[in-house]
């Protein structure tokens, strides 16, 4: 990532106006996190959600904030300022490198459409989570006018096909965001 690309990404992702459509408080509430839980934030970027997730699980909980882009992870780390229950994880493109069996939920927000080989990534992710863990994926609807160009999006149906192949099944869906789907998955039996 060039310095110019990094600056552009930070400008977009940390823009306070983003709250209008991203509804971060409602989104985090809908995750239904409990205090004391260990969770993974996959593709944390510069940390728009990271401190909010850290607050939701509380000081006895933990957030593993994963991103494969070192410069972005550095920004996230600097923005944490005193937040103690977050571990930045430099993941790989094909593997989040989470501590095995530890995270009760993995949250992906605006990430899956950035992944190359997302299906393989999901299989690695599932293998690193305990059986009862939830995976939540939030990404762009196919039809909304706002957001990335349509050809760069991952339609809901395509994500669900990849998820099924990774051994996940859809257990819930929340219609709380104007431009994005919100899918909750668990390991298939
Ligand atoms: C649009 S940003 C979203 C950041 C954050 N989730 C948010 O909503 O503000 C997408 C992030 O996904 C990361 N990413 C891309 N491929 C990834 C992968 N294989 N594993 C984890 N993160 C990835 C990128 O480096 C980038 O920081």
What is the pLDDT averaged over residues 26-40? 98
What is the pLDDT averaged over residues 144-148? 91
Please work out whether the CB of residue 13 comes within 6 Å of at least one atom of ligand 1.
yes
pLDDT higher than threshold 90 for residue 189: no
φ, ψ of residue 88 to 5 degrees: the values are: -70, 135
**Angle, helices 118-128/156-165, rounded to nearest 10 degrees:** 50
What domains are there in the chain, each with its CATH number?
A: 3-187 (3.40.50.150)
With cut-offs at 50, 70 and 90, classify the pLDDT of residue 59.
very high
What is the pLDDT averaged over residues 136-153? 94
With cut-offs at 50, 70 and 90, classify the pLDDT of residue 7.
very high
In the reported structure, the alpha carbon of residue 115 is separated from the centroid of ligand 1 by a whole-number distance in angstroms of: 8
Give the Å distances, CA to CA, from 176 to 49, 69, 81: 16, 29, 30
Query: Which ligand 1 atom lies nearest to the CA of residue 138?
Result: 8
Tell me how crowded residue 157 is: count the other CB atoms within 10 A of its CB: 8
Predicted TM-score (pTM) of the model is 0.97
What span, in angstroms and rounded, lies between the C-alpha atoms of 1 and 181?
28
């Amino acid at each position: 990532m060039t310095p110019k690309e990094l600056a552009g990404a930070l400008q977009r992702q940390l823009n306070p106006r983003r709250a209008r459509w991203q509804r971060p408080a409602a989104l985090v509430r809908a995750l239904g996190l409990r205090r004391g839980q260990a969770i993974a934030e996959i593709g944390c970027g510069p940390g728009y959600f990271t401190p909010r997730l850290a607050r939701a699980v509380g000081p006895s909980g933990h957030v593993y904030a994963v991103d494969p882009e070192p410069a972005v992870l550095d920004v996230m780390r600097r923005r944490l300022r005193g937040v103690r229950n977050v571990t930045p994880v430099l993941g790989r493109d094909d593997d989040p490198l989470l501590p095995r069996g530890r995270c009760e939920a993995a949250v992906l927000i605006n990430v899956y459409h950035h992944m190359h080989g997302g299906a393989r990534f999901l299989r690695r992710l599932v293998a690193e989570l305990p059986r009862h863990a939830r995976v939540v994926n939030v990404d762009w609807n196919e039809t909304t006018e706002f957001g990335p160009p349509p050809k760069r999006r991952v339609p809901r149906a395509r994500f669900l096909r990849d998820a099924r192949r990774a051994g996940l099944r859809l257990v819930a869906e929340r219609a709380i965001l104007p431009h994005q789907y919100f899918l909750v998955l668990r390991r298939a039996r």
